[in-house]
Chain A
Amino acid sequence: MALAQAKQDVTEARLAALSLPEGAGWIKAAREDALARLRAMGLPGRRDEYWKWTRPDALTAPDAAQAAVFEGDDTPVFGEIDRVRLVFVDGVFDAAQSDDPTLAGVEIERLEAAAQTDIHWLKELYGVLETRGQDPVHRPLAALNTAYATDGVVIRATGKAERPVSLIYLHESETSDATLHHVIKVEEGAELTVLENGPAAARLNMVMEVEVADNAAFHHVRAQGRDHERRAVTHLFARLGTESVFKSFTMTANGVLTRNESVIELTGDNATAHIAGACTGDGDFHHDDTVFITHDAAHCESRQVYKKVLRNGAAGVFQGKILVKPDAQKTDGYQISQALLLDGDSQFFAKPELEIYADDVQCSHGSTTGAIDETAIFYLRSRGVPEAEAQDLLTLAFLAEAIEEIEDETIAEDIRTRLEAWLARRRGG
């Protein structure tokens, strides 16, 4: 079917100033394929069903809108955690600010370097999981990323990594437009934790492709930066092998526009996938979590836990789907998305979906929107807790179920402290 002219125009306008990066034959082919995929799909428009509640315009425009750089971030998240730090400034790797990327049992390479290598394991994954994730729903911004990303990291874990790999995204230019593509392969029996934090750029398009092999474990904790005017679209594609574990948690505070898509395929029996998000939005904040989990093996468990706290006209979106294929018997699928609206101006849109083709499964989903419990506020105040603190306490309690999805208690505590500080700052003015 031919693409509507308007869609074609938007797509070509976006591509006009871009050129495919140089690289070895295999990645050149992968990029050309991605570009062809993108041209066939066209960039998302306001009329696309999948973008019903989130306007893609700012993400598809040829240039990034200006975004002020937030000054005075006192204590960056994960600061106390022993980790291998890899720093990107406005989407470009900065070796000088990064740690020496040597970690026992883990190979870390810059995408650019891997792309110049004629024979590389990356060939089996780069753009491959993204391509799988294009069916049955189109994700054109991910194809755009695969075609044009020049930077990112390529990580292969062959053993149990003793420290997390921490990707730090600094934002320095008010008009930066970053495209990052990371590929992570956790080999059989290996374990790896990846942390991400920072605003990255005025506009960020990030793709992370993760292959978790049999009996391997991957943990991902992300704190999306708090620069108020930044915009971001991210795609997390994961494929899980037998008895593997995948856990991802994202905290988002601020940002005028964030769309986080997560596409997870459980392809080996007894695999576990947990994905969670906690976001706090104030004012012209728009946050969209779009999740697609496919159960394609038996005895797998998946869990989606999304919590949003919205105030002053902030908007939250959740589109979450569990697809259970015919052979995925004994699937245990759970999905919850909840919003706490701190005033009457804020809005939450949710579309939970189950599509089940196996007969012996257990799947449940729920979505709620509610205000803060005034009776509980009064109870706390009657015990001496000031109103604003009482509200914060209940807000953190609301977010707790999502934060509990973080496996590492030190990291969870760090995230909790961050959220507390965010709430306290909001209170201050």
Chain B
Amino acid sequence: MLEIKNLHVKLEEEDKAILKGVDLSIGAGEVHAIMGPNGSGKSTLSYVMSGRDGYEVTEGTATLEGADVLEMEPEERAAAGLFLAFQYPVEIPGVGNMTFLRTALNSQRKARGQEELSAGDFLKLIRAKAADLKIGADMLKRPVNVGFSGGEKKRNEILQMAVLEPKMCILDETDSGLDVDAMKLVSDGVNALRDAGRSFLVITHYQRLLNHIVPDVVHIMANGQIVKSGGKELALEVEENGYADILGDVPGEVV
């Protein structure tokens, strides 16, 4: 599904290398997790995949189902099936959550040559998906993320994912700021979307989310590289011993 090879990324504005040769291969239907200390480059990887300005790819490739992702505009990536659940969801005053969702869905459908959804059909769709995530009518009417609590913002990201039905979902620290109940709602939402044709890249700082969303592969990222990969046990190892211990095993890596 998503193939990242030797990806090097620096900041556009200054000569600061952030990703220093990332390799990642996520097959269809797989769930991968990336863990790593703060500042290791996890969010940068997610932003570069979704096409945010401010970063420059100096080397390497990234393809989504064989298509060159790095060549596409952000909206083209979305229409191609890529989705990023933001670590910090953005507030958009004046734009209703429903309008936002409908515009997004219909833009993607249009880009894919599908017919746009009517207001009535959209309403049915959104009501069903929102109910699963315990998102009330009030949250749908309010402007996008404005005045939402941390947990509400994260649930809203998952709602967008459920409505847009992307193929490749990247979740950046979706667990941060969630209490136990919200964590369960969010992971149930994600698990409901797990499907042989849909892949996930779950970025998290802590292991606990991975108890709910059980990954096939766990990667540890440090200093702009993936330094270790393994099964779900690797996450438990991090939980028990912290990053220093694991990173200590990696030759030449200074933490």
Chain B 47-87 interface residues, beta-carbon cutoff 8 Å to A: 50-53, 73-75, 77-79, 83-84, 86
Q: Considering only CB atoms, which chain A residue lies closest to B93 in the complex?
A: A397
Selected A-B contacts with CB under 8 Å, 9 pairs: A375-B90, A379-B86, A381-B74, A383-B78, A384-B75, A387-B75, A393-B103, A397-B93, A398-B94
Report B216-247 CB contacts with A as 1/0, cut-off 8 Å.
00000000000000000000000000000000
Is A376 a contact partner of B50 (Cβ separation < 8 A)? no
Q: Considering only CB atoms, which chain B residue lies closest to A374 in the complex?
A: B53
Is B92 a contact partner of A397 (Cβ separation < 8 A)? yes
Is A382 a contact partner of B50 (Cβ separation < 8 A)? yes
- CB-defined contacts of B86 to chain A, threshold 8 Å: 379, 382
Which bracket fits the contact residues of A?
A: 20 to 34
Q: B199 interface residue, CB < 8 Å from A?
A: no
Q: A378 interface residue, CB < 8 Å from B?
A: yes
- CB-defined contacts of A394 to chain B, threshold 8 Å: 92, 94-95
Interface on chain A toward B: helix, strand, loop, or mixed SS? helix
Q: Considering only CB atoms, which chain B residue lies closest to A400 in the complex?
A: B94
Is B92 a contact partner of A381 (Cβ separation < 8 A)? no
- CB-defined contacts of A373 to chain B, threshold 8 Å: 92
Is A383 a contact partner of B90 (Cβ separation < 8 A)? no
- CB-defined contacts of B73 to chain A, threshold 8 Å: 381, 386-387
Give the interface of B toward A (CB within 8 A).
Answer: 50-53, 73-75, 77-79, 83-84, 86, 89-95, 99-100, 103-105, 107-108, 111, 143, 160, 164
Is B92 a contact partner of A382 (Cβ separation < 8 A)? no
Top-6 shortest CB links A-B? A397-B94, A384-B78, A383-B104, A384-B108, A381-B74, A379-B90
Chain B: minimal CB distance from A381 (Å): 4
Give the interface of A toward B (CB within 8 A).
Answer: 373-376, 378-387, 389, 393-394, 396-398, 400-401
Give A222 to B90 CA distance when docked, in angstroms: 35
Is B104 a contact partner of A384 (Cβ separation < 8 A)? yes
Known: A383-B164, A385-B103. A378 touches B95 (CB 8 A): no
Chain A: minimal CB distance from B166 (Å): 9
Is B75 a contact partner of A386 (Cβ separation < 8 A)? yes
Contact among B84, B99, B105, B111 with A382 in the assembled complex (CB-CB below 8 Å): B84
Is A385 a contact partner of B53 (Cβ separation < 8 A)? no
Is B53 a contact partner of A378 (Cβ separation < 8 A)? yes
- CB-defined contacts of A380 to chain B, threshold 8 Å: 92, 100, 103-104
